[in-house]
């Protein structure tokens, strides 16, 4: 039988975390995955990784990145996919609970959020004692939305198992789905073996892969409401007579201990093996940055703040104002006799603006480009244009063929 916290202790924790606003209300709140110690802005002495340079420091003309405590980190502009900062970004690391970003994304892609979710005995008792939980019980009924709020805000490990079972029928099948989706998103050095990130030697990712997952998640509008929610209430259920108050563990959100202007939300993580891990979404003006920090200390707050300062202060997103233009295309010798213009050019056009992320005050007319015709099994061809700053990719755009081949027949 699991030992649960006393009602008095749960109420005290809830009042402390919520600033006393809930003092006169019954409360039920989970153990925090990051309550191992009181975090401090920077460690003394620094970690062994503090003096390691970022790989992006080697780019000619690129602003030098800050020194951070983490072993691995990455900063991405979510709209251009430009990597503004990278340090050991391809090194395999344990992700801890930021795994739940992928779990929640898959639930958003495959479930009706208003559906009921009933917690199985395997889910309720399938986690190690003391790990993050809302103490859901066997046969307890939630909505999928409530379950995902528990996953993302309170990092509830048993609810991650319940969501996995609801999505795929079993945790094993859900893990297969996790790895398949990661490969679809371009992840090349990750392997997931559970939906919650609890310690497992075969469960790992990289900062680069995690950025790809987190970017895809951000562009799912259902996911965003879970990543950005600050406080959420689950009313009494068929098994629990008290209201559960779920508080987002991300302490850089507005009004929190390490509040940073513009932070929208994200996901925290911590295990002894993984260290502190953190994914953060932040907005300034029209720019949204994504920061992933792996194997750091003290919650990753100071590392993330330094990386956000670096990204927002040193870079800008620029509209390339792409217009349609003729693009050379190889043709067969015989085609020049049957195609208009002798088959020498195809006009392409853009259906949306194309942006690049570059150091502030960069002359974008000096960026180099690489153009590639992307083949289609059917329909118009696409032209991909990639933009480079001193041979470093800073953005790309797709233009579409104005006319298909049959339209060019003489």
Task: Give the residue numbers annotated as catalytic, written as ranges.
Answer: 97, 100, 155
DSSP state, 398?
E
**Helix ranges, 75-156 (H):** 100-110, 121-124, 144-153
Q: Which long-range contacts (CB under 8 A, 24 or more apart) does 198-202 make?
A: 198/127, 198/128, 198/131, 198/157, 198/271, 199/94, 199/271, 199/272, 199/273, 199/274
Asked whether 18 and 247 are in contact (CB, 8 A), the reply is yes
* Element at 73 (helix H, strand E): strand 72-77
The answer for residues whose C-beta is within 8 angstroms of residue 235's C-beta and 6 or more apart is 243
Question: Cα(371)–Cα(360) distance, rounded to whole angstroms?
Answer: 25
Q: How many other CB atoms are there within 10 angstroms of residue 3's CB atom? A: 7
Give CA 341 to chain center in angstroms. Answer: 47
Starting at the earlier edge strand, list the strands of the sheet with 287-296.
Answer: 83-87, 72-77, 287-296, 275-284, 263-271
Question: Cα(279)–Cα(98) distance, rounded to whole angstroms?
Answer: 7
Q: How many other CB atoms are there within 10 angstroms of residue 201's CB atom? A: 8
Backbone φ/ψ region at 81: left (φ over 0), alpha (ψ -120 to 50), beta: left
Counts for the chain of helices (H) and strands (E), in that order: 9, 16
Asked whether 404 and 337 are in contact (CB, 8 A), the reply is no
The answer for residues whose C-beta is within 8 angstroms of residue 319's C-beta and 6 or more apart is 353, 354, 355
Q: Which two tokens stand for residue 45?
A: 């002495």
* Element at 281 (helix H, strand E): strand 275-284
Asked whether 407 and 340 are in contact (CB, 8 A), the reply is no
């Amino acid at each position: 039988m699991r030992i649960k916290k006393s009602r008095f202790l749960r109420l005290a924790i809830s009042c402390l975390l919520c600033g006393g606003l809930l003092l006169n209300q019954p409360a039920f709140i989970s153990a925090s995955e990051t309550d191992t110690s009181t975090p401090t802005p920077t460690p003394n002495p620094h970690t062994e990784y503090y003096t390691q340079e970022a790989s992006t420091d080697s780019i000619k003309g690129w602003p030098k990145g800050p020194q951070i405590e983490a072993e691995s980190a990455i900063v991405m502009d979510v709209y251009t996919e430009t990597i503004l900062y990278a340090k050991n970004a391809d090194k395999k690391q344990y992700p801890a609970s930021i795994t739940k970003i992928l779990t929640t994304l898959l639930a958003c892609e495959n479930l009706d959020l208003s559906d009921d979710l009933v917690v199985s005995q395997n889910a309720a008792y399938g986690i190690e004692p003391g790990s993050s939980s809302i103490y859901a019980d066997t046969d307890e009924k939630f909505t999928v939305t409530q379950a995902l709020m528990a996953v993302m805000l309170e990092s509830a490990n048993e609810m991650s198992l319940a969501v996995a079972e609801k999505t795929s029928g079993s945790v094993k099948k859900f893990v297969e789905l996790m790895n398949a989706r990661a490969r679809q998103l371009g992840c090349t050095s990750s392997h997931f073996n559970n939906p919650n990130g609890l310690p497992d030697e075969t469960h790992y990712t990289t900062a680069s892969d995690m950025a790809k997952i987190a970017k895809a998640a951000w562009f799912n509008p259902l996911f965003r409401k879970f990543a950005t929610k600050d406080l959420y209430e689950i009313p009494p259920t068929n098994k629990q007579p008290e209201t559960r108050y779920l508080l987002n563990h991300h302490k850089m959100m507005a009004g929190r201990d390490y509040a940073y202007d513009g932070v929208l939300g994200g996901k925290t993580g911590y295990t002894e093996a993984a260290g502190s891990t953190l994914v953060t979404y932040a907005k300034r003006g029209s720019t949204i940055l994504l920061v992933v920090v792996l194997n750091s200390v003290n919650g990753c707050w100071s590392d993330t703040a330094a990386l956000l300062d670096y990204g927002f202060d040193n870079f800008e997103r620029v509209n390339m104002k792409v217009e349609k233009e003729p693009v050379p295309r190889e043709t067969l010798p015989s085609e020049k006799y049957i195609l208009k213009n002798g088959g020498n050019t195809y006009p392409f056009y853009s259906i949306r603006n194309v942006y690049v992320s570059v150091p502030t005050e960069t002359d974008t007319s000096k960026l180099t480009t690489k153009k590639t015709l992307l083949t289609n099994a059917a329909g118009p061809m696409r032209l991909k244009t990639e933009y480079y700053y001193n041979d470093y990719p800073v953005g790309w755009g797709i233009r579409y063929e104005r006319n298909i081949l049959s339209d060019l027949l003489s």
